């Protein structure tokens, strides 16, 4: 492959780390795109290669309008990388495959990779690790071989058209004593859910990705997910393996 176009949505950095690990396994330069820049239209050719990386939210693709719908392919091979917090990816891969294939891509492979859970980072702590990398290396080699041999759409599990499901809302608070109204959070919010100038959160738009909490330089935004965190830790602590589909 001559170049990798890696379109990544990663509000708190886990998906990006997994995408960097995967893309580093191919011997090709990488063009990195922020997938949430949905205004950035891009048409890829048959000999291009797309890696579409995103975190799983409520078993689906994050509910950002137009996410991954600004790219078009022309029989372009693509690989899906779903990062999730050790619960499950449910329909997310099938949903993304349908979305990309409607737009002219051929999903030659998909990987589901465990990363720290936003609301229970103990789940997926240190992942992806060296063991995961070995699985991804085998997958990367398989993808390369498959593309060389003419590609073909991979079979993936899940429902490609699941009914929209809202992720559990996790309310946030702003500490007025720490916040300097620098507006960085409003600028970085992928859901445009923060009103700049006053730093108010719009619960209708918020997708609870926690990018604002993660990136605030003053630690002024916090959330309390105690009940959800406890439920996740009680039920989903057994480490899951990376799964790949070719
Ligand atoms: C709103 C929300 C919903 C999530 N839903 C799931 C889920 O259904 N299954 C799962 O295993 N992890 C789930 N997670 C965990 C994320 O998929 C995981 O933490 C991912 O690494 C976050 O990506 P990022 O670090 O690139 O932001 C969810 C996280 C958030 C913020």
Could you give all domains of the chain from N- to C-terminal order, each with its CATH number? Answer: 4-162+241-245 (3.40.50.360), 172-223 (3.30.70.20)
Ligand 1 centroid to Cα of residue 171, in Å, is 16
| pLDDT for position 186 | 98
**Cβ atoms 54, 62 nearer than 8 A:** yes
Q: For residues 88 and 120, is the Cβ–Cβ distance under 8 A?
A: no
The label of the residue with tokens 């997310």 reads 92
22 pocket-lining for ligand 1 (C-beta < 6 Å)? no
Q: Is 190 in the pocket of ligand 1 (CB under 6 A)?
A: no
Q: What's residue 169's pLDDT?
A: 78
Instruction: Answer yes or no: is the C-beta of 76 below 6 A from any ligand 1 atom.
Output: no
CA–CA gap between residue 112 and residue 226 (Å, rounded): 26
Residue 93, pLDDT above cutoff 80:
yes
* Residue tagged 């609301």 (tokens): 119
Nearest-angstrom CA–CA distance, 241 and 65: 30
Cα end-to-end distance, the chain, whole Å: 17
pTM summary value: 0.98
Cβ–ligand 1 distance for 158 under 6 Å, the answer no
**Closest Cα to atom 2 of ligand 1:** 57
pLDDT of residue 229: 96
Q: What is the pLDDT of residue 151?
A: 85
Q: Is residue 57 lining ligand 1, measured as CB closer than 6 Å?
A: yes
Name the pLDDT band for 8 (thresholds 50, 70, 90): very high
Q: Is the CB of 13 under 6 A from ligand 1?
A: yes
Between the CA of 244 and the centroid of ligand 1 the distance, in Å, is 18
Is 191's C-beta closer than 6 angstroms to any atom of ligand 1?
A: no
Measured from the Cα of 88, ligand 1's closest atom is 11
Give the position of tokens 């060389």.
148
Peptide bond into 27 cis (omega under 30): no
pLDDT digits (tens, 9 = 90+) for 103-158: 999 999 999 999 999 999 999 999 999 999 999 999 999 999 999 999 899 999 99
C-alpha to C-alpha distance for 173 and 213, rounded to whole angstroms: 10
In this structure, the residue with its CA closest to atom 19 of ligand 1 is 117
Q: Which of 36, 56, 59 to mutate to test the pocket of ligand 1 (most atoms within 8 A of CB)?
A: 56
Residue 166's pLDDT band (boundaries 50, 70, 90)?
A: confident
Contact 24, 18 (CB under 8 A): no
Bridge-based pairing state of the strands 30-34 and 4-8: parallel
Ligand 1 atom at minimum distance from 89 CA? 9
CA atoms within 13 A on the CB side of 72: 3
């Amino acid at each position: 492959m001559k170049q990798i176009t890696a379109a990544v949505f990663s509000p708190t950095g886990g998906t990006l780390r997994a995408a960097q690990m995967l893309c580093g396994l191919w011997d090709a330069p990488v063009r990195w795109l922020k997938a949430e820049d949905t205004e950035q239209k891009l048409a890829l050719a048959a000999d291009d290669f797309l890696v579409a990386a995103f975190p799983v939210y409520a078993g689906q693709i994050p509910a950002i309008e137009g996410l991954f719908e600004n790219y078009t392919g022309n029989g372009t091979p693509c690989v899906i990388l779903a990062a999730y917090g050790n619960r499950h990816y449910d329909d997310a891969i099938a949903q993304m495959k349908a979305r990309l294939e409607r737009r002219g891509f051929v999903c030659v492979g998909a990987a589901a990779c465990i990363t720290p859970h936003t609301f229970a980072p103990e789940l997926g702590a240190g992942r992806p690790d060296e063991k995961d990398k070995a699985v991804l290396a085998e997958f990367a080699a398989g993808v390369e071989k498959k593309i060389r041999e003419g590609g073909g759409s991979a079979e993936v599990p899940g429902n490609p058209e699941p009914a929209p499901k809202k992720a559990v809302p996790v309310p946030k608070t702003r500490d007025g004593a720490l916040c300097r109204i620098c507006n960085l959070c409003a600028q970085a919010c992928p859901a445009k859910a923060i009103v700049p100038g006053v730093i108010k959160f719009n619960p209708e738009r918020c997708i609870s990705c926690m990018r604002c909490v993660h990136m605030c330089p003053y630690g002024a935004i916090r959330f309390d997910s105690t009940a959800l965190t406890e439920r996740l830790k009680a039920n989903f602590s057994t480490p899951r393996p990376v799964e790949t589909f070719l």
